[in-house]
Amino acid sequence: MSTIVDVCKLAGVSKATVSRVINGNGPVKESTRHTVYSAMEQLGYRPNTVARALATNETSTLGFVVSDFNGIHFGLLLKQASASTEAANKQLLVTDGHNDPDKEYEAIRKIEGSCDAIVLYSRTPTDAHINQLAKQLTVPLVVMNRLAPNPLCHVIAFDQQGAVEMMVDYLVSCGHSKIACITGTLNNPTGQARLAGYKNSLLAHGMAFDQELVVYGEYFIESGYRACKELIDKGVDFTAMVAFNDHMAFGALKALSEVGISVPEQVSIIGIDDDPTSSFSSPTLTTVELPIEKMTKHAIELALALTKDKKTPSFHLYTGRLIKRESVIPCADDI
Amino acid sequence: MSTIVDVCKLAGVSKATVSRVINGNGPVKESTRHTVYSAMEQLGYRPNTVARALATNETSTLGFVVSDFNGIHFGLLLKQASASTEAANKQLLVTDGHNDPDKEYEAIRKIEGSCDAIVLYSRTPTDAHINQLAKQLTVPLVVMNRLAPNPLCHVIAFDQQGAVEMMVDYLVSCGHSKIACITGTLNNPTGQARLAGYKNSLLAHGMAFDQELVVYGEYFIESGYRACKELIDKGVDFTAMVAFNDHMAFGALKALSEVGISVPEQVSIIGIDDDPTSSFSSPTLTTVELPIEKMTKHAIELALALTKDKKTPSFHLYTGRLIKRESVIPCADDI
DNA sequence: CTGTTAGCGCCTTCAG
DNA sequence: CTGAAGGCGCTAACAG
């Protein structure tokens, strides 16, 4: 690989001049600029990224950490992240947090030195983790998927509780009162907020919270299947069901159809995510859409901006949107 | 951020010594090693990744390029890629090729300088693209998803044609003869090989290829829906259907159910991918599983090995595995 | 076992 | 408008 010195020799100029034409800054006479260009071309010269990073103290890459590469929104998330990053002519360094706050912490500290800012999309870390990170990190941090503002870092949030409230409200407005719930993992803020939304909406409608109607899921399709089966096996009576994501709703659909319970005639179902498959299940799934792409775009752009100049920590809340499809209808038991 | 010099001063030793304890190479007296360690700790010192990369000419990161972040296997792929990479204590620099060979080429040239080897998982590039890359790249290249050996780079391949042959063979063995086909995009080797598999298997069974039975899809669920609808609208007669991936099969399932054609009683369907959802559709989907994780692991490990010492280009072929579920049954028309 | 001395390839004042 | 020189932080011979 040829270096800047090779270009210097061939073009008969100094490193400074070559550097100027590479970076398009500083004044260079048109003619010398030209000779330098052709020298570079002749040599197939490409500036060394690493050397440049060392000299400028800028890597021109953005770190992106997700809790688990195999997560639901992952494709969209990275698609958008990559688009926004490339639009700014930067690179994306992505890392998997392995759904474990400690591993995630390690992962972040590891990539810290290779990027100019970090965006964290994760469900696992506690506030303590985040705070520690924000304090230790030498690069700006933008956190997605937190529930509350943080005095130490910027957060792009989604109103998890509000989304589930929206779902339950809708079911109630359709006359349902026996509303089952398949939760997600409850050991993190997202799951907890969603469950709070479920309880809260019931409460708001003067309905009692019944533990028996609640089964535990883990966001995967199988866990929705299993959870719903559990409900059926226990003989719990319900006319509607809230699933903490679309995939689990699909699993529930399967469990219900296996025992001959028809959706939506006997049971209405609603999910969250607006997974692409939701328009193609039978019946099509009523759900709440998360503005993942908008949020991601925002996060990346914020992170990019922070590499230029720090701002005081901000908080941005996004909300979901109800998408009505076939899986919810008025309650048949309704009197 | 403290540098190696700060550690030197505090520990009262030279840079060389500090470097030795950091890298655990070269002899260092136990006691001085200890003082250096505590100095580092006291300062919260962390070696500068970029500087080290410049000095060693090794970035300890691996480039991974996918044709599209929002692709089907993407989650699993990156999950495995990240696992293998981290196992080797390296980082993953991923890039989206935007389903366009030229953009992809640019993307690769761009990350080239930031990694020690590159793994390319893509459908779009032609052999010419690959060859050009292999020639120009200054780091080793491992390509996944090619169909044939390449004299210039290592390839980890999947037997696309064989997979579809397997599918058609199975349908034929079930007595089907009017077998429709929803293709994927046909402007790349994968789609072409799969279509060749379809034709080839028919031929092998002495059956004629009928263009009317073939509709064009683009791997998304909607395109499967649309393609199947097209078939139905045209009044084409078929008792079985091959879809070039599971998602399109789901779309087809929807289209069929909308017009009251029951699967598998009236039409059998088979897909490729073994998508997690395939066990939960109604009916569950017969499909061919791709050993994506194995292939990815292999690719990463090979790439990692190549950073140590180059080997002469190799070719590794993986094959699919038929997974029988409910969506295929013997042909009713069978006499 | 440890220190000295060059670089790695580029950017960036500061002179001219 | 251009060149010289120092430095980014670390590694790696080479001496001692």
Question: pLDDT digits over A138-192, tens only?
Answer: 999 999 989 899 999 999 999 999 999 999 999 999 999 999 999 999 988 899 9
Quick check: B92 and A93 CB within 8 A?
yes
User: Residue A181 forms beta bridges with which residues?
Assistant: A214, A242
**Looking at the predicted structure, is the pLDDT value of residue A334 above 80?**
no
> What is the H or E stretch that residue A268 is in?
strand A268-273
Mean pLDDT of B272-289: 95
Which segment of A146-155, B39-48, B67-76, B315-324 scores lowest on mean pLDDT? B67-76
Q: Is the CB of B55 under 7 A from strand C?
A: yes
* Sign of the C-alpha dihedral computed for residues B207, B213, B216 and B217 taken in this order: negative
Crossing angle of helices B189-204 and B160-173, in 10° steps, is: 30
Which segment of A89-98, A191-200, B237-246, B287-296 scores lowest on mean pLDDT? A89-98
For residues A198 and A240, what is the distance between their CA atoms, to the nearest angstrom?
13
For residues B81 and B92, what is the distance between their CA atoms, to the nearest angstrom?
8
Secondary-structure breakdown of chain B: helix, strand, coil percentages, each rounded to the nearest 5? 45, 15, 35
For residues A134 and A150, what is the distance between their CA atoms, to the nearest angstrom?
10
**Domains defined along chain B, listed by start:** 4-47 (1.10.260.40), 61-158+291-320 (3.40.50.2300), 160-289 (3.40.50.2300)
**Looking at the predicted structure, is the pLDDT value of residue A62 above 60?**
yes
Taking the CA of residue B51 as centre, how many other CA atoms within 13 Å lie in the half-sphere pointing to its CB? 7
3-state secondary structure of A143: strand
Quick one: CA torsion of A74, A76, A80, A85, rounded to 10 degrees? 30
Q: How many beta-carbon pairs under 8 angstroms link A with B?
A: 134
- A268-273: strand order across its sheet: A214-215, A179-182, A240-243, A268-273, A286-289, A321-323
> What is the H or E stretch that residue A61 is in?
strand A61-66
Rounded to the nearest integer, the mean pLDDT of chain B is 94
Strand C nucleotides in reach of protein CB atoms, 7 A cut-off: 1-14
The CA distances from residue A330 to A231, A257, A264, in Å, are 21, 19, 9
Mean pLDDT of A58-67: 93
CA of A26 to C1' of C13 (A): 12
Enumerate residues 6+ apart whose C-beta is below 8 A from B308.
Answer: none
Mean pLDDT of A259-277: 96
- CA-based angle A116:A118:A120, to the nearest 5? 175
Enumerate residues 6+ apart whose C-beta is below 8 A from A260.
Answer: none
The Cα of A322 is separated from the nearest Cα of chain B by a number of Å equal to 21
- Helices and strands, number each (H, E), in chain B: 12, 12
pTM: 0.91
Say if residues A167 and A242 touch (Cβ distance below 8 Å). Answer: yes
Say if residues B109 and B134 touch (Cβ distance below 8 Å). Answer: no
| Residue A110: closest C-alpha in chain B | B91
- A61-66: strand order across its sheet: A315-318, A154-158, A141-144, A117-121, A61-66, A91-96, B91-96, B61-66, B117-121, B141-144, B154-158, B315-318
| Residue B44: closest C-alpha in chain A | A136
**Looking at the predicted structure, is the pLDDT value of residue A298 above 60?**
yes
Enumerate residues 6+ apart whose C-beta is below 8 A from A322.
Answer: A166, A167, A170, A286, A287, A288, A289
Identity of the residue in A75, A247, A281 whose CB atom sits nearest the CB atom of B69: A75
> What is the H or E stretch that residue B133 is in?
helix B127-136
What confidence score (pLDDT) does residue A237 get? 96
Q: Is the CB of A4 under 7 A from strand C?
A: yes
Say if residues A163 and A197 touch (Cβ distance below 8 Å). Answer: yes
For residues A93 and A100, what is the distance between their CA atoms, to the nearest angstrom?
19
For residues B108 and B85, what is the distance between their CA atoms, to the nearest angstrom?
18
- pLDDT tens, A302-333? 999 999 988 899 999 999 999 999 999 998 86
| Residue B85: closest C-alpha in chain A | A95
Burial state string for A83-103 with b = 16 or more CB within 10 A and e = fewer than 16: bbbbeeebbbbbbbbbbebeb
Quick check: B69 and A82 CB within 8 A?
yes
Q: Is the CB of B11 under 7 A from strand C?
A: no
Say if residues A245 and A273 touch (Cβ distance below 8 Å). Answer: yes
Strands (E), chain B: 61-66, 91-96, 117-121, 141-144, 154-158, 179-182, 214-215, 240-243, 268-273, 286-289, 315-318, 321-323
The nt closest to A57 (CA vs C1′) is D8
Reduced 3-state DSSP string for A79-123 = HHHHHHHHHCCCEEEEEECCCCHHHHHHHHHHHHHHCCEEEEECC
For residues B280 and B157, what is the distance between their CA atoms, to the nearest angstrom?
29
- pLDDT tens, B96-137? 998 888 889 999 999 999 999 999 998 888 888 899 999 999
Enumerate residues 6+ apart whose C-beta is below 8 A from B102.
Answer: none
Quick check: A280 and B78 CB within 8 A?
no
**Looking at the predicted structure, is the pLDDT value of residue A335 above 70?**
no
User: Chain B contacts of A68, Cβ < 8 Å?
Assistant: 79
What confidence score (pLDDT) does residue A312 get? 92
Identity of the residue in B54, B280, B282 whose CB atom sits nearest the CB atom of A50: B54
B135: left (phi over 0), alpha (psi -120 to 50) or beta: alpha
Mean pLDDT of B285-308: 96
Mean pLDDT of A246-257: 97
- CA-based angle B119:B120:B121, to the nearest 5? 120
Rounded to the nearest integer, the mean pLDDT of chain A is 94
Secondary-structure breakdown of chain A: helix, strand, coil percentages, each rounded to the nearest 5? 45, 15, 35
User: Chain A contacts of B78, Cβ < 8 Å?
Assistant: 69, 74, 94, 96
What confidence score (pLDDT) does residue A76 get? 86
| Residue B277: closest C-alpha in chain A | A221
Strand D nucleotides in reach of protein CB atoms, 7 A cut-off: 1-14
| Residue A109: closest C-alpha in chain B | B46
First-last CA distance in chain B = 80
Q: Is the CB of A35 under 7 A from strand D?
A: no
Counting residues of chain B whose pLDDT is more than 70, the rounded percentage is 99
The Cα of B234 is separated from the nearest Cα of chain A by a number of Å equal to 22
| Closest CA-bearing residue to C1' of C9 | A51
**Looking at the predicted structure, is the pLDDT value of residue B71 above 80?**
no
CA of A16 to C1' of D4 (A): 9
Counting residues of chain A whose pLDDT is more than 70, the rounded percentage is 99
Identity of the residue in A50, A93, A254 whose CB atom sits nearest the CB atom of B113: A50
Identity of the residue in B48, B82, B277 whose CB atom sits nearest the CB atom of A221: B277
What confidence score (pLDDT) does residue B122 get? 84
Greatest Cα pair distance, chain B, in angstroms, is 91
What confidence score (pLDDT) does residue B125 get? 85
Quick check: A78 and B69 CB within 8 A?
yes
Quick check: B75 and A83 CB within 8 A?
no
Say if residues A301 and A84 touch (Cβ distance below 8 Å). Answer: yes
User: Chain A contacts of B96, Cβ < 8 Å?
Assistant: 78-79, 82-83, 86
Identity of the residue in B61, B86, B138 whose CB atom sits nearest the CB atom of A1: B138
- pLDDT tens, B186-208? 988 899 999 999 999 999 999 99
Q: In 3D, which of B100, B151, B87 has the Cα closest to residue B126? A: B100
Query: Could you tell me the two tokens for B115?
Result: 């990694």
Residue at token pair 């999950």: B79
Mean pLDDT of A113-128: 91
Q: In 3D, which of B83, B73, B295, B68 has the Cα closest to residue A95? A: B83
User: Chain A contacts of B68, Cβ < 8 Å?
Assistant: 79
What confidence score (pLDDT) does residue B222 get? 94
Query: Could you tell me the two tokens for A328?
Result: 């919810």
Residue at token pair 């919260």: B44
What confidence score (pLDDT) does residue B334 get? 53
CA of A277 to C1' of C7 (A): 57
For residues B127 and B28, what is the distance between their CA atoms, to the nearest angstrom?
52
- CA-based angle B248:B250:B251, to the nearest 5? 65
| Closest CA-bearing residue to C1' of C6 | B55
Residue at token pair 């999309």: A121
Query: Could you tell me the two tokens for A98?
Result: 């392995």
| Closest CA-bearing residue to C1' of D9 | B51
Quick check: A251 and B276 CB within 8 A?
no
Say if residues B254 and B232 touch (Cβ distance below 8 Å). Answer: no
Task: Give residues 239-268 of chain A lying near strand D (Cβ < 7 A).
Answer: none
Mean pLDDT of A6-11: 95
What confidence score (pLDDT) does residue B209 get? 96
CA of B7 to C1' of C1 (A): 19
Say if residues B151 and B102 touch (Cβ distance below 8 Å). Answer: no
What confidence score (pLDDT) does residue A142 get? 97
Quick check: A70 and B75 CB within 8 A?
yes
